Amino acid sequence: MRLGRRAFLGAGAAATVVAAGYLRQRPADAQFGLRRGPVVNLYTSRHYDTDDQLYTGFREATGIRVNVVEAEADQLIERIKSEGQNSPADILMTVDAGRLWRAEQEDIFQPVTSSVLTTAIPANLRQSDGLWFGLTKRARVIMYNKDAVDPSELSTYEDLIDPKWQGRILTRSSTNIYSQSLVGSIIAAHGADDTEDWARGLVANFAREPQGGDTDQIKAVAAGLGDIAISNTYYLARLAKSDKAEDRAIAEQIGVFFPNQDDRGTHINISGAGVVKTAPNADAAVRFLEYLASPEAQEIFAQSNNEYPVVEGVAVDSVVAGFGEFKADPLSAAVFGSNNPEALRITDRAGWK
């Protein structure tokens, strides 16, 4: 481990590196790298304030402070590349296996050997050489308007191209990483040619041109702009737990269906992280990843951000539990993540904008 301390880029340089993209450096840590004491420097595309509980818990458990820079994953990858050997980044954390794969291809990560991580995290949710590790799971499901759809009509992702769904499906753009990873899982199951046929059929059944995020799709279904949406479960849980009565009313209108329960199971994506190759605080970084795989931290992920834990035996949030139990697709995140580029080419040709 390198013991020298390195200062982060100044505000002007940081803005240049991310090409004027959004970047948030926590105010309390504006001088991180310059303060005394053990630290781990985290570059993260997770934009959830609830993650502050994780940073506090780690500091209380180890005495190691977590310094945080937030931006989009691609911006953070470019920043680390631009900083080179002088990068202060210890950990890159992202919200999708596709972006972890991109960072791996850019040689961002170093291999980590940790029995704590390999014991706690299933093999299909981590990179085989220890370059990155899944820390939470996200189920990408079919959500439906309870007044417009009988759940007995639903079955698989593949069935969404049936003509009965013409003009009824809402989803995000194909440029969204969640869409690409779902298509990447279809590629793994059926091959590229059949997946392109499926994508064309799905586009033919769109209720409107893709726009907005998962919450927008859910609200559109509730408003009658479409009957079903493809979405991650935690977005619906947020609405159900909202302080706003109108959000809770929307959630009441929506049902959750877990596709492909009679074959491979529902597509599962991950949020995950790896230790940066040039990490100045590599030992502290590994300790932080191990902490995030602890039952304590996994419970925070589950209860605070409505994600599914990767560690067996940790309870899910009660609202999420109310969606029901399901069979998850065991496909390796490394496989569907690596299929993202082909998925984007396929969806482009299929007219999925």
Predicted confidence (pLDDT) per residue in 11-57, tens digit: 333 333 333 233 445 543 433 444 467 999 999 999 888 899 999 99
308 is in an annotated binding site: no
Which domain range does residue 227 map to? 137-267+324-350
Judged by DSSP in three states, 140 sits in strand
Rounded-to-10 torsion of CA 347, 227, 307, 97: 0
125 and 48 both lie in a single domain: yes
* Contact in structure between 148 and 227 (CB atoms under 8 Å): yes
Q: Outline where DSSP puts E strands in the chain.
A: 23-25, 39-44, 65-71, 91-94, 133-145, 169-170, 228-232, 254-257, 268-275, 308-309
251 and 330 both lie in a single domain: yes
**pLDDT tens digits along 316-344:** 999 999 999 999 999 999 999 999 999 99
198 and 345 both lie in a single domain: yes
Judged by DSSP in three states, 341 sits in helix
201 and 300 both lie in a single domain: no
46 within domain boundaries: yes
Please tell me the pTM assigned to this model.
0.88
Query: What percentage of residues in the chain have a pLDDT greater than 70?
Result: 90
1 within domain boundaries: no
Average pLDDT over residues 133-139: 98
pLDDT of residue 47: 87
* Contact in structure between 320 and 309 (CB atoms under 8 Å): no
pLDDT of residue 28: 38
pLDDT of residue 49: 86
Alpha carbon 225 to chain centroid distance?
Answer: 26
Average pLDDT over residues 127-146: 98
Residue 345 pLDDT more than 50?
Answer: yes
Query: What is the three-state SS of 249-297?
Result: HHHHCEEEECCCCCCCCECEEEEEEEEECCCCCHHHHHHHHHHHCCHHH
23 and 124 both lie in a single domain: yes
Structure tokens at 273: 């992280």
Q: Identify which of 308, 296, 279 has the alpha carbon closest to the alpha carbon of residue 131.
A: 279
pLDDT of residue 7: 33
Give φ, ψ of 309 to 5 degrees: -70, 150
| Angle at the Cα of 274 from the Cα atoms of 268 and 280, rounded to 5 degrees | 165
- Domain count across the chain: 2
Half-sphere exposure of 70 (CA within 13 A, CB side): 12
Strands 39-44 and 91-94: parallel
47 is in an annotated binding site: yes
Q: How confident is the model at residue 285 (pLDDT cuts 50, 70, 90)?
A: very high
164 within domain boundaries: yes
pLDDT of residue 37: 78
CATH number at residue 148: 3.40.190.10
* Type of residue found at 315: A
Query: What percentage of residues in the chain have a pLDDT greater than 90?
Result: 88
103 within domain boundaries: yes
278 within domain boundaries: yes
Residue 2 pLDDT more than 60?
Answer: no
Structure tokens at 160: 């969404």
235 is in an annotated binding site: yes
Among 4-13, 32-41, 222-231, 289-298, where is mean pLDDT lowest? 4-13
344 and 254 both lie in a single domain: yes
141 within domain boundaries: yes
4 within domain boundaries: no
319 within domain boundaries: no
Average pLDDT over residues 106-132: 98
